[in-house]
Each structure stands twice: as C-alpha cells, then as structure tokens.
Chain A
Amino acid sequence: MAASKLMTMRDAIARHVSSGSTVLLGAQLEQMIPFSAGHELIRQGRRDLTLVGPISDILFDQMIGAGCVARVMAAWIGNVSAGVGYCFRRAVEHGVPRKIDVVDYSNFTMALALHAAALGVPFLPTYATLGSDLLKKNGDLREFSSPVSEERLVAVRALRPDVAILHVQRADAQGNAHVWGSLGVAVDGTRAAQKIIVVAEEIVEPSVISSDPNRTLVPGFLVEAVVHEPGGAHPSPVQGYYGRDHAFFSQYHEQTRGIEGFETWLNQWVVRADGRAEYLKQLGIERMQSLGVKEHAYTVPADFGY
C-alpha cells in the first residue's frame, strides 16, 4: 500500500504553496470554501499570490487584506450574503495594503478557462461576454472568427493553477476524495491544476471511497497532500456536516469597514488562532453545534453489485 499523504495544514502549505503561486480556492462556490487553508497561507506570510476562483466569498477579501495577493482572477469578489468586500475595495481603490490586479471573468468563462486547462487545450470558444466590457478589459478573453461558421466568438484562454485547494466531505489517506452537493468548477479546477491539496472533514478507509465511485471527485493519484481538518470550511457550509454561519459573514462585513477593524479581525481569527483547532475553540463548541445537522437526510444506497 502506498504511503499516506496525510499531513498537517501547516506542512501542506509549507511544502506545496510558495509565494508567487497561482492558487485555486473556492471551486464549489458558496460551499466548502477552504478557509483554514487560506488562513494558513496568511500565517505563513505568502506574498504575490494570484488567486483564482469564481466567487470564494470573503476568503479572497481576507487574503487581499492580509497583503498576500498580487492578482485576482475571478467572476465575483465580495461577501455573498452581506455585500461588498471592504479589503478588496481598499486594495483596488487605494492600493491598501497593496495594489492588486483584477482580471474580471464571468462565472461561465472562469469555468471554461479551467475546463480548457483540464482538457489540455489552449482555449475554448464561447458566445458569453460578447458585447461586454469584461471582454475588452480581460486579455485572456479574445474575440476571433470561427473557422467552421460565419460567427464571432470569444476564445477563453486556458487557466492552469499551480495549486488547487479543495475542501471535501471525506477522503482516504491517498487523497481519493468524495464530494457531494455543490460541485461548481471543482472537477475542472482540480484537473486543471498542477498540484492538488485535499482538505477533508473526515478521513475514511479506501473501501468507503470505492463503494461509491461516482461520488469520487478527485482520484488520489492526482493529489499531493491530504489534510484532516474538521470544521475547516467554516463559515461556509459543508453539506451533511454543518450549515453556513450567516452571522459570521455579517459580522465580518460590519467589522471590516475600516482597516483597523480588519486588523483586529485578522489578529483574532487568523494570527492568534494558530490553526483550525484554536479557531474552533475560539468560536465555541455551542456555535459549531448550532450549525450542525439537525435532521439527517441519507441517500438511498445504490447497488453496485453484479
């Protein structure tokens, strides 16, 4: 049996994500955002990162505010339930804490950029963004004439992240990972990336994974590191494990209007909470319990027998 890929978050980030890397986070949109990995990137002082993701909710805002980011390639950057991201705004409007480049995509063109990389082709065609200013400003979206019809289309350049960090419900020690619920761009995003870090709520036996191979989003042979990190996606939800902590998003929104408020937030939840266990302790057992599953809804088993 191959050696386990299990390691701590600290080791996974130290070994596999360097400053200047292009990192995909939040492939499942509002669900299963790898907040604990983002926080570890902040603590380890990564700089000049390019963040890739369709939305990633407030994680991108936090990493921008912490000064880790040189460029964001995304469709939407803010706080999904509360509104704008103030750190993002400060960086774009005032260069605080540093100037960042923003490469604006739509959700579909972001998905196509990752799909192209996953397919190993330089671009994919689409009609999306024709007539928009996204097309004018984003150099990775180029108009061209179709070689097979009399049409104008947009070529979406392939986007290959150095590392994709994927939060999942369960994985085995090899990184064979089950995901259910919101998939977003997770299949293409992980196929597109050079390296994959899997962050799992639960570590299970390989037999659990192979009992339901349709649910395997990533095969372990593509995975570099597996981190067992229960609660690692909080405040985003993980289907079947915990709900979305809406109040946390609202409170972040209120507290980070000013830069001092953000610094206080960062110090409390990232700098002083050294690791997810500390973070969860600070959050309190009652709060995580209140977000827990109230009523289980198990799928009906499918018969793989023959």
Chain B
Amino acid sequence: MGVSEREHGFIVTARSETDAAGDRYTFSELMVASAAKEIADGELVFVGMRLPMLAFLVARRTHAPHAVGLFENGVVRETLSSALLYTMGDPPNLLGATQCGQMLDVMSLLQQGRINVGFLGAAEVDRFGNLNTTWGFRKKELQRLPGSGGACDIACLARRTVVLLVHDRGRLTERVGYITSPGYGNGTGWRRAQGLPANSGPSAVITTLGVIRFGEDGEAFLASVHPGVSVEEVLANTGWTLRVADELVETLPPSDEALAVMRELDPDHFWTR
C-alpha cells in the first residue's frame, strides 16, 4: 500500500478492492463515506479535490443537501459538477457555479471563522494533528514536496479540519519534521498561545485503517477501527503509542445510498480504487 506521489490530493492506492472488509466496497469508499459524515447540513465546506470532493458530493446527495462548497480559486458551488474533476479549476467546476470570485472572497470568509469544515491531505500527520506537505523524509533522504497551497490557511482558520491519508508508520509520525499546517502543536493551549482562533483545529484524521480524533489536550486517539481491521494493526502502523478510546467502535460501513452516489460520480473507480 502507499499513496502515489500526488501529495496535493488524496489518491489512495491502498490495498486492492478484494482486500476490503467485504466485497461490497473499497477502503477508499469507506474513507469517502466517513468523510461525508463529517459534514452537517447547511455547513460551509472548503472542499479540496479527489476523495474530499467526492465526500462533499455524497454529503450533499444524502444527509446534507444544503452544504455549500468553497474552493481556493474563488469558486462557490451548491450543485454537483457534470464531470469528474482533476483540479478545482477544471471547466466543469466553473460551469454552473454559484459564484466565480477571487481567492480573497473565499479566504475572507475563512478568516472570519465562517467556514465550518475544511478537508486536507498530508504526507505526514503527527500525534497532535500537525501536518507536513513541504518536506518528505523517505529513505533517510530529504525530499522537497509541493508545499502548502491553501492547506496552512485552512488548518489555521477553519473551525474544524478533517485529514485523509493512508495509514502507515511513515505517515503517522510522532512529530512532523516541518509544520506546514498547524494542528494542536504540542498540546493543551498551544493554538491559543500562537494566536490562532478559538474553536478551530483538527477534528478527525480518516485513514485507511480507522478514524482518529483529538482529546481536550490536543492529543490524538483512535476513535474507530474500520471493519476487518484490528486495534493491533492500527497501533503497529502508527509511529507513536496511539491512545485508544475507552468506547472504541467499528467504523460504520458506507450506506447503499452513499455507495450509489460515489459510483455514479466515479464509475470507473478513478478516485476510489
């Protein structure tokens, strides 16, 4: 398993379809369905691309028909685009948009604290939800990655952020080598001490193995494991001693309705291999 080099997005090439907990869905589909549940009806969402984009569309078509999507290039959308998107600037994402404004038009809402949730990918996430998309440390060699894009802005200013990534020890690391996008720093009170807005910060890290959330002290804990995945497997693939919730649950599988929407939007499993 592993993510391709597409660090900007969320291509998950984890496992094959047959590895999934059942034949009914892939791990990527489970991640999308879980991500969709992080969006409540009527919320303003910084969408991003690929799996989060699908999650937003699933949410709109199922439980959150009034969620509004915002994109860093200034686009605001309330309807589904007519084609699969490779980038937020693809012509189908602009056709039928509610507004095509400037970057500052959407960033201004973000800084006011009006964006409920933003989706992010990462090369690395750490114990306190800090993200790195600037420097890779593969095979002991420093690799320059593309950088923040809007991720740092979203991590600083959205009320909640949700991170999607493949679960392995190289990616879930005790301490990121570079904080591109701040989470809870080193724990309690860190965000406020930096001057970051109250009521902001990481809400969930959805991986190929489970869902991680954060305690009052800013430290991550395992909140749910995906069907067919053991706690031991999660811990063995995490780069620090991950706390486990007292009331650990199994991640709910995608509903038939959510799967139908995903497969309608991505019939060839281009994003949800």
Contact = CB atoms under 8 A, between A and B. Distances in A.
Q: Determine if chain A interacts with chain B.
A: yes
B194 interface: yes
Given A31-B73, A106-B149, A130 B182 contact: yes
Given A30-B89, A81-B86, A127-B156, A106 B151 contact: yes
B134 A28 contact: no
Contact of B102 (A55, A80, A134, A188): A188
A75 B197 contact: no
A105 B151 CA distance: 11
Contacts of B142: 93
Contacts of B147: 74-78, 104
B241 interface: no
B112 to A, nearest CB: 10
Nearest to B95: A297
A108 B155 CA distance: 12
Nearest to B149: A76
Contacts of B100: 180-183
Interface stretch (A82-90, A197-205, A271-279): A82-90
Contacts of A133: 134, 178-180
A184 interface: yes
B73 A29 contact: yes
A288 interface: no
Given A131-B190, A131-B196, A182 B75 contact: yes
A239 B180 contact: no
A185 interface: yes
B179 A92 contact: no
Interface SS of A by simple majority: loop
B146 A104 contact: no
B227 interface: no
Contact of B111 (A74, A102, A108, A151): A108
A126 interface: yes
A28 B197 CA distance: 29
Contacts of A180: 100
A93 B143 contact: yes
A236 B149 CA distance: 18
Given A55-B149, A77-B146, A81-B87, A130 B103 contact: no
B4 to A, nearest CB: 6
A144 B111 CA distance: 17
B195 A151 contact: yes
Contacts of B74: 182-184
Nearest to A81: B86
By CB atoms of chain A within 10 A, which of B4, B7, B103, B179 has the most? B103
A107 interface: yes
- Measured as residues with beta carbon below 8 angstroms from the partner, the interface class of chain A is 35 or more
A106 B148 contact: yes
B178 A128 contact: no
Contact of B89 (A31, A89, A127): A31
A188 B108 CA distance: 14
B267 interface: no
B220 interface: no
A22 to B, nearest CB: 19
Interface in B157-209: 157, 178-182, 185, 190-191, 194-197
Contacts of A152: 194-195
A126 B111 contact: yes
A168 interface: no
A52 B67 CA distance: 34
Nearest to A92: B144
A131 B156 contact: yes
Interface of A: 28-31, 54-55, 74-78, 80-85, 88-89, 92-93, 102, 104-109, 111-112, 115, 126-134, 143, 151-153, 180-188, 236-237, 239, 243-244, 246, 249, 297
**Top 6 A-B residue pairs of the complex, sorted by shortest distance between their CB atoms:** A30-B89, A78-B146, A152-B195, A83-B5, A131-B194, A131-B182
23 contacts: A30-B87, A30-B89, A31-B73, A54-B103, A75-B147, A78-B8, A78-B146, A84-B5, A107-B72, A107-B149, A111-B103, A130-B195, A132-B148, A132-B152, A134-B148, A134-B180, A153-B195, A181-B91, A185-B104, A239-B94, A239-B95, A244-B89, A244-B91
